[in-house]
Chains A and B, each alone.
Chain A
């Protein structure tokens, strides 16, 4: 995670890829991570499928359902990650809804996630107010609990959340669920600028990022981009190379 701060200092933009673990079979997980790190992504979010993913749009929900149909569980993903026989060169962040963690046991989850090589955890239905359920255990394992901020986060909370942010801040750029969109709202730039001013750690824009036009629009106001649905769908349809221009658009330094 330190690497993310260094990247920011060097003036480079980060590209964080989200994948749904076990979509296409658990054996795909290692392949996808290897592919993405070779392609130069900065970090990878490993999504855990959940039966009721209320923050997700149809693409990620469908990917989750495919993974669930293959019997993928949090435990299986963490086991698989512990068995990787290749060098993981980028930070891995586990993204899961809260219930599988509660069921698995918060402390055990952080221990196993650490063993699995994870650097951080994102739990979209664990708001800042309830972070005590997980954070103490995450700290013990030196895992960062990534916080989300959104267009609707009120000022006072935003400051409070950013004050304690670690790793990176996930700035949700749409008022809605995950998924690709044509356009982002005008006010997003102002929002991410504000977040970036207040945040001690890099700020990455996520939800709805799927096109170079989105990247161009926000390039100067964020430290990186998180791309989920577009990558998940491309892997599913076996055309991940289509995403290479988007990855390059973010990661290859731009002359201003």
Chain B
């Protein structure tokens, strides 16, 4: 993937906004973006450890360069003047030599450079070091040039960077004025540029290899047995139709309001804010939904769609039982037949939910195969669907499965993020600095994140389950430890062995105990828009106690992972910042686990 450098940084917030880039640049030569070595040192401290820190010089002495390298410290040096080769050789860190490109002759010269990388730019105007103008990229095509040492600069912006990358396939793209508004860096533009440069480059590669329908970058698709293709295609068409039908949307929102009890508050958590000593903490209260978690948002949407398609039988899988309960609830409401597959292990852990489903009139099928958890329940639900596809809708509970499920589930769950956005703007007059949500398959997180994905100033963090620890073999940290693979109808990230056999996941939380993560999350992880951190069982349990006692809200075990991660995030945030946690569900269902694990709690 092409790397991204954001150059000419002068202010703290711009360094932060560039956190998903690979390199940041400080200009030490005469320029309106010039900074002192001391200032660069201060700014550099805000960047991630693995960020390249590049100093830009024009005809500086070796001593000046060396002092900056050691003080900031810089990991690379970029030279825009007429620096002799002897100077380049003396510099300890990798050197980038810049060239202005006007004609094919200029391209010829590039190969003579002894520097590690060559930066190509349009000819400068007032100062040396780039003008912000685009040069003719085609000059770089069909010439003998090592593109693995090529850095492309000059007039790049979010709108042309894709084209630039596909035409020149550089090692890195370098942007400065293209991410500025009125001569000053712009956080939103910085993040948009990074997203365009990184995210969409993957989509382009993808288009060459696979039909892009239903894909998020390289992930997604419809990898199902032929028997299901008809149902999947029908669903795709029916959802597309329903999505654009005002009546359908009206009905869906009617049930969200009158039956689920939306909208849910965005609660200011005063005592958590005080206890953590960092940003203002807000809680998005999905725990207050009817049935006790976010799952019902999606169950209502899909049940309405199933009826629209003339299907009155529903099959679902469930892990923690929250999706099963939500589905059973909606099936009772709409008088639909309901069968729920649930792993034997989860049935033991979530007895209360099993009873709730039965009380609601659903048939709960115990799955004894494999690890007896969510993965195996999905397998059985898929088999059931294959056999009963003509009259049955598979009501998938997470942002998983073949297209259109990941998109559809995300859309139905996006009510979480949409409400949050409106509410935080009312309360704080601005967007939050960070949002944390837990991820198993990823439905509450994608619903929360999706409306914020384009808001580059909002950091999005997913908390996945580290179980007994990511370095043990008992975890469900798919993004930390997983790799690309096909499971349950989609290309996504999964936990698997070298032979491509899917591994069993482990988490104390039944809802996160799944060895895959939905395709959109896999894509957002790859393009860096969302960062994913892993939280252990013990950390989650500690957060259950903390939140219960500070806010009087007993969270679900799944949610507790988000709280634990939020606490970590809060450590490096300040009092003028805002952090939102998605409280995906309440902890009633987990009381047996809490009673056992927190025995002797005083």
Q: Which A residues have a C-beta under 8 Å from some C-beta of B?
A: 50-52, 54-55, 57, 61, 68, 73-75, 97-104, 124-130, 132-133, 148-154, 157, 172, 175-177
Number of A-B contacts (CB under 8 A): 120
Contact B229 A103 (CB under 8 A): no
How far is A100 from B383 in the complex, measured between Cα atoms in Å? 20
Decide yes or no: A52 and B379 within 8 Å by CB, A104-B500, A152-B229 being known contacts: yes
- 16 interchain pairs, CB-CB under 8 A: A51-B501, A52-B487, A55-B386, A99-B494, A99-B496, A104-B500, A129-B213, A130-B223, A132-B209, A148-B226, A151-B227, A152-B230, A152-B231, A157-B229, A175-B227, A175-B390
CA distance A177 to B486 in the complex (A): 19
13 further A-B contacts with Cβ under 8 Å, apart from A52-B370, A104-B500, A148-B225, are A50-B500, A51-B370, A54-B225, A54-B379, A99-B496, A100-B499, A127-B224, A127-B229, A133-B210, A150-B225, A152-B228, A152-B389, A154-B230
Q: Give bound CA distance, A132 to B223, whole Å.
A: 13
A54-B382, A75-B499, A127-B222 known; A103-B230 Cβ under 8 A: no
Select the residue from A100, A127, A128 with max chain B CB neighbours within 10 A: A127
Most buried by B among A75, A103, A104, A175: A103
Are A153 and B500 in contact, with the CB atoms below 8 A? Answer: no
Given A52-B502, A152-B389, A124 and B488 contact (CB-CB distance below 8 Å):
no
Please tell me if B387 contacts chain A, counting CB pairs below 8 Å.
Answer: yes
Interface centre among B221, B369, B389, B501 (most CB of A within 10 A): B501
CA distance A104 to B211 in the complex (A): 22
The answer to whether B502 touches A51, judged by C-beta atoms less than 8 angstroms apart, is yes
Indicate if the CB atoms of A103 and B222 lie closer than 8 Å.
no
A51 vs B515: C-alpha distance when bound (angstroms): 12
> How many residues from B make CB contacts under 8 Å with A?
42
A101 to B501, CA, bound (A): 10
- Give bound CA distance, A151 to B225, whole Å: 12
Question: B residues touching A (Cβ–Cβ < 8 Å)?
Answer: 209-211, 213, 221-231, 233, 369-370, 375, 379, 382-383, 386-387, 389-390, 483-489, 491, 494, 496, 498-503
Contact of B226 among A68, A99, A127, A133 (CB under 8 A): A127
* Contact A124 to B225, CB < 8 A, known contacts A54-B382, A133-B209, A176-B386: yes
Compute how far the CA of A120 lies from the CA of B557 in the bound complex, rounded to whole angstroms: 48
List the A side residues contacting B226 at CB < 8 Å: 124, 127-128, 148-150, 152-153, 172
Contacts A74-B499, A103-B500, A176-B386: A125 and B223 contacting too (C-beta < 8 A)? yes
Q: Please tell me if the beta carbons of B502 and A102 are within 8 angstroms of each other in the complex.
A: no
Contact among B230, B375, B383, B500 with A102 in the assembled complex (CB-CB below 8 Å): B500
| Contact call B500/A177, Cβ cutoff below 8 A | no
- Contact at B485–A132, with CB atoms within 8 Å? no
**Are A153 and B211 in contact, with the CB atoms below 8 A?**
no
Docked Cα-Cα span, A151 to B231, in Å, equals 12
Q: A175 CA to B211 CA in the complex, in Å?
A: 26
Which of B210, B213, B382 lies in contact with A132, CB distance below 8 A? B210
